[in-house]
């Protein structure tokens, strides 16, 4: 379809033919009838009115940023068109441009927390803050539900240093709490940047996609991250790609093994559980932990294959401990969101438990924060409810990192709350963290739940957590994750040390 260029409404503005927009069809009919009934003057007057409406409501005008309200519905094609024009203008004048893709961190969690209408209000306020930071000649376009593309007009100096300075100013514009739905929200934003000379191709589509790739990389690195697009992937991205290609063969070769990290009870000191974690004996990179394995794991059947393989290794280990007379408590398993949303999760768990002649009450399913904010939250809740009904223990992880899903806690019969390392670190010195952990422990007691602190790194942290009422501990201060072959010796040493500890006799009232 041809495009018309309308002069006098901002440099480089581009429009679809105004009269081909379907929402203007009633106006066109009215123009024709006015000419038929009232003559040429009425027809001309109404035609001018229709042209004004067409311009005032055109998507291109919203894309141009001239008078547009930031945060309106997405107009990705308009962003690509503006970039095309900027690249052409820059090519003729020897200037360069840049594209920045900006969005709030953890948009899915914000959407679930606020609901659609308030989330839209938040995005519009973010758009207004960002728009106020730009020059008059720059453009800003909303390209999807939660991201804006900022398109810089051609300039002599869009280098990396200047882009970083601009990115910091954009982030600072959103640091002040945003009023939404009667509350003030502090939102962090991530940014991906593509300079015109680094774009994979000299057109708007390629440049916008490159900036989006950089934004995805930034979002994966945590809140407030900034990343520049480069045609050469960064070393960590190259490593992830290599590992992803090697995972299928590693699973078949048995290189990815189940390792176990003990959990102890602060009431008795005995082993109250073990968490199973995948570890990869990589021939070149050494021992890789669960975070790196899951980050490299491509979506699809391999997620199930890895989970199923690790679960079966863990259940076989649990059966062996029981047969040898070791009391190991719960077996904790963290399932990825793709597994928690599978419609046959409960059936598969039952088949696996029956195959090893184990009771469901020995299995603890750890629900992480990313599963709580998963788009298919209904299926996650359904599966957890069914797992609780057959006797599995449900544990909620990630407290303090987002909204607490009260309804999910109730319906899934959550029996244990896990405190993350972010709350545990330096708790022996940070009084504010002590208050938070004490509040969580009191809440758990009131709900008849137990608490587990993970990532405990020192004896002083252990002692403070015990004082604050945390019932179970896990971390390097207790033991590092270990393969099955080392668990027996560790449990024996721990029990011997426990038995050698003098006990203070309990005084009973008479």
pLDDT value, residue 140:
95
pLDDT value, residue 7:
29
Strand (E) positions, 391-506?
Answer: 393-396, 414-419, 450-453, 472-474, 482-483
pLDDT value, residue 510:
38
Tell me the per-residue pLDDT of 76-111, one tens digit each, with 9 for 90 and over.
899 999 999 999 998 888 899 999 999 998 888 788
Q: Do the domains spanning 60-232 and 261-277+321-491 agree at the CATH topology level? A: no
Distance separating alpha carbons of residues 430 and 408, to the nearest angstrom? 31
pLDDT value, residue 38:
62
Please provide residue 455's backbone torsions phi and psi, each rounded to the nearest 5 degrees: 75, 25
Half-sphere exposure of 488 (CA within 13 A, CB side): 11
**263 neighbors 272 (Cβ within 8 angstroms):** yes
Query: Residue 36, Cβ neighbours under 10 Å: how many?
Result: 10
Q: How confident is the model at residue 66 (pLDDT cuts 50, 70, 90)?
A: very low
Characterize the bridge pairing of strands 414-419 and 393-396.
Answer: parallel
Write the DSSP symbol of residue 454. Answer: -
Tell me the per-residue pLDDT of 283-300, one tens digit each, with 9 for 90 and over.
888 889 988 888 888 777
Q: Which residue, 85, 98, 102, is CA-closest to 10?
A: 85
Segment among 46-55, 85-94, 494-503 with least mean pLDDT = 46-55
| Over residues 110-127, mean pLDDT | 85
**296 neighbors 278 (Cβ within 8 angstroms):** no
Q: What is the mean pLDDT of the chain?
A: 81
Burial (CB < 10 A; 0-12, 13-18, 19+), residue 332, is buried
Is domain 60-232 annotated with CATH 3.30.70.270? yes
Contacts of 435 (CB under 8 A, 6+ apart): none
**485 neighbors 317 (Cβ within 8 angstroms):** no
Q: How confident is the model at residue 450 (pLDDT cuts 50, 70, 90)?
A: very high
171-180: long-range contacts (C-beta < 8 A, 24 or more apart)?
Answer: 171/224, 171/226, 173/129, 173/130, 173/132, 173/133, 174/104, 174/126, 174/129, 174/130, 178/122, 178/125, 178/126, 178/129, 179/125, 180/114, 180/118, 180/121, 180/122, 180/125
What residue segments make up the domains of the chain, in order of their start? Answer: 18-56, 60-232, 261-277+321-491
Distance from the first to the final alpha carbon of the chain: 95
Domain covering 261-277+321-491: architecture? Alpha-Beta Barrel (3.20)
Judged by DSSP in three states, 286 sits in strand
pLDDT value, residue 263:
96
Higher-pLDDT residue of 375 and 124 is 124
Question: Three-class SS string for 210-251?
Answer: HHHHHHHHHHHCCCCCEEECCCCCCHHHHHHHHHHHHHHHHH
């Amino acid at each position: 379809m041809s495009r018309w260029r309308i002069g006098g409404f901002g440099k480089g503005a581009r429009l679809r033919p105004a009269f081909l927009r379907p929402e203007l069809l009633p106006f066109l009919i009215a123009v024709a009838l006015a000419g038929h009934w009232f003559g040429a003057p009425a027809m001309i007057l109404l035609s001018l009115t229709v042209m004004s409406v067409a311009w005032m409501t055109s998507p291109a005008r919203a894309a141009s940023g001239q008078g547009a309200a930031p945060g309106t519905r997405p107009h990705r094609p308009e962003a690509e068109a503006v970039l095309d024009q900027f690249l052409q203008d820059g090519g003729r004048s020897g200037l360069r441009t840049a594209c920045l893709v900006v969005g709030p961190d953890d948009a899915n969690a914000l959407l679930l927390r606020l609901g659609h209408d308030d989330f839209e209000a938040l995005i519009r306020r973010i758009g207004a803050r960002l728009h106020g930071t730009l020059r008059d000649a720059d453009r800003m376009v909303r390209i999807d539900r939660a991201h804006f593309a900022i398109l810089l007009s051609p300039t002599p100096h869009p280098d990396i240093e200047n882009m970083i300075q601009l990115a910091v100013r954009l982030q600072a514009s959103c640091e002040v709490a945003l009023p939404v739905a009667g509350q003030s929200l502090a939102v962090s934003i991530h940014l991906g940047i593509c300079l015109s000379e680094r774009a994979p191709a000299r057109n708007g589509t390629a440049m916008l996609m490159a900036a989006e790739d950089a934004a995805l990389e930034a979002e994966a690195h945590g809140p407030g991250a900034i990343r520049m697009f480069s045609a050469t992937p960064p070393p960590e991205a190259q490593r992830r790609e290599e590992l992803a290609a090697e995972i299928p063969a590693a699973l078949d070769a048995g290189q990815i093994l189940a390792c176990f990290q003990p959990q102890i009870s602060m009431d008795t000191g005995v082993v109250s559980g073990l968490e199973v974690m995948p570890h990869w004996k990589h021939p070149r990179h050494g021992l890789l932990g669960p975070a790196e394995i899951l980050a490299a794991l491509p979506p699809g059947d391999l997620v199930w294959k890895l989970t199923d393989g690790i679960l079966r290794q863990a259940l076989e280990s649990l059966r062996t401990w029981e047969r040898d007379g070791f009391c190991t408590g719960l077996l904790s398993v963290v399932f990825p969101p793709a597994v928690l949303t599978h419609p046959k999760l409960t059936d598969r768990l039952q088949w696996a438990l029956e195959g090893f002649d184990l009771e469901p009450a020995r299995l603890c399913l750890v629900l992480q924060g990313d599963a709580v904010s998963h788009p298919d939250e209904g299926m996650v809740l359904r599966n957890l409810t069914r797992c609780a009904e057959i006797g599995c223990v449900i544990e909620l992880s990630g407290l303090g990192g987002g909204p607490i899903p009260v309804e999910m806690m109730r319906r899934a019969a959550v029996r244990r709350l896990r405190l993350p390392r972010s709350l545990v670190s330096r708790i022996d010195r940070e009084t504010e963290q002590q208050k938070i952990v004490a509040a969580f422990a009191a809440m758990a007691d009131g709900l008849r739940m137990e608490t587990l602190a993970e990532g405990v790194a020192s004896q002083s942290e252990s002692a403070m957590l015990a004082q604050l009422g945390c019932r179970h501990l896990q971390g390097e201060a207790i033991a590092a994750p270990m393969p099955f072959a080392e668990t027996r010796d560790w449990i024996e040493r721990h029990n011997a040390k426990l038995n050698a500890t003098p006990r203070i006799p309990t005084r009973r009232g008479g």
